Amino acid sequence: MNKYGLVGKKLGHSLSPEIHNYIFDKLGVEAEYSLYEIEDGKDILKLMKEKGIKGFNITIPYKEIVMSQLDFISEEAEKIGAVNLVKIKNGKSYGYNSDYYGVIEMLEKHGVKVKGKICYVLGSGGASKSVIVALHDLGAKEIVVVTRDVESKRRELKNRFRNIEVVSYENIIGGDIVVNTTPLGMYPNIDSSPLDEEILKRFDIAVDVVYNPKTTKFLQLAKNCSLKCVDGVSMLVGQAIKSDELWEGIEVDRDTRDEVEKRVIERLEEMKNSESNGNKWT
């Protein structure tokens, strides 16, 4: 049985094992997914190899430090500057960024056409990088990053992307698609939104990478303004499935993807209605 898992410093009540093991069970794959808490990230790869792990996901704070330990890094992970998925095969290690594929899965599933569109990305933290690169690769006409740290982020991002601008929240003009990559609205702070209705009216589509709750305050306000709304559950499922596909050399069909997403939504609803609401999908 192949062993996989999530590596991080403090994983708490992460439900990642439930997602991946549900996928393995649905597909009849003989594999198991577990949690691995590590205090120091400098020897992640060595430790995982010693445990006989065939592949693993990585969360904060080790997404950058692991890159120097790998033999190969994918193009999208290089662009993003972070690896959150490692595959070990024939003694060699391969790094990817599954969030990138999760973003694409989320947009494609909900019929969001990016090519030729003006896209705003709210936030400039780690979560924003995968979104920016995915939008860029999908052919966005212009990407506008909205942040409170305009000058330093402008220098950083303009050196990496040709069609990008960086503005403050006070200087949002409007466009076609707006994507929230900030934690505002995430449980337990469910009454927060990065934008109000007055600004949301300047867009056609609102996307939130937050998945707990499924409908955030940001999306509720967008819905009030008649925007097409896309929640973060498809991204969560998409990145998990991409990991399993790369590890096992399989392809997960649409019906199975939909079943997994349905299961995740059910679990989120259970969490919402129980004392375990503080649990986190990672």
- Cβ-based neighbour number of residue 117 at 10 Å: 19
Phi, psi (5° rounding) for residue 149? -115, 65
Please count the CA atoms within 13 angstroms of the CA of 271 that sit on its side-chain side: 20
Instruction: Tell me, yes or no, whether 215 and 272 share the same domain.
Output: no
- Predicted confidence at residue 126, as pLDDT, reads 85
- pLDDT over 70 at 280, yes or no: no
Rounded to whole angstroms, the Cα distance separating 167 from 154 reads 8
Catalytic residue numbers?
63
Question: Distance from first CA to last CA of the chain, Å, rounded?
Answer: 23
pLDDT tens digit string along 212-225? 999 999 999 999 99
**Is 126 a known ligand-binding residue?**
yes
- pLDDT over 70 at 137, yes or no: yes
- pLDDT over 90 at 246, yes or no: yes
Residue 274: pLDDT band with limits 50, 70, 90: confident
- Predicted confidence at residue 158, as pLDDT, reads 84
- Predicted confidence at residue 281, as pLDDT, reads 47
Q: In the chain, which residue ranges form alpha helices assigned H by DSSP? A: 16-27, 44-50, 75-80, 98-109, 126-137, 150-158, 197-200, 217-224, 233-248, 254-272
**Distance of alpha carbon 125 from the chain centroid:** 12
**Is 209 a known ligand-binding residue?**
yes
Rounded to whole angstroms, the Cα distance separating 240 from 19 reads 8
- pLDDT over 70 at 113, yes or no: yes
Instruction: Tell me, yes or no, whether 40 and 80 share the same domain.
Output: yes
Q: Which domain holds residue 127?
A: 101-231
- Contacting residues for 94 by C-beta, under 8 A, at least 6 apart: 70, 71, 72, 73, 74, 86, 87, 88
Which of 216, 231, 246 is the C-terminal boundary of a domain? 231
Number of domains in the chain: 2
Rounded to whole angstroms, the Cα distance separating 250 from 262 reads 21
Domain of 193: which CATH number?
A: 3.40.50.720
Phi, psi (5° rounding) for residue 101? -70, -30
Please count the CA atoms within 13 angstroms of the CA of 143 that sit on its side-chain side: 30
Instruction: Tell me, yes or no, whether 182 and 108 share the same domain.
Output: yes
**Is 84 a known ligand-binding residue?**
yes
**Is 59 a known ligand-binding residue?**
yes
Residue 187: pLDDT band with limits 50, 70, 90: confident
Six token digits for residue 83: 């690896």
- Predicted confidence at residue 15, as pLDDT, reads 78
Closest of 5, 20, 18 to residue 268, by C-alpha: 18
pLDDT tens digit string along 118-135? 999 999 988 899 999 999
In-domain check, residue 173: yes
In-domain check, residue 282: no
- pLDDT (mean) for 234-241: 96
- Contacting residues for 223 by C-beta, under 8 A, at least 6 apart: 215, 229
- pLDDT (mean) for 91-98: 97
- Predicted confidence at residue 184, as pLDDT, reads 96
pTM for the whole thing? Answer: 0.91
Domain of 247: which CATH number?
A: 3.40.50.10860
pLDDT tens digit string along 148-184? 999 999 988 888 887 899 999 999 999 999 999 999 9
Q: How is residue 141 annotated by DSSP?
A: S
Instruction: Tell me, yes or no, whether 83 and 167 share the same domain.
Output: no
Q: What percent of the chain shows pLDDT beyond 90?
A: 83
SS3 84: coil
**Is 64 a known ligand-binding residue?**
no
**Is 239 a known ligand-binding residue?**
yes
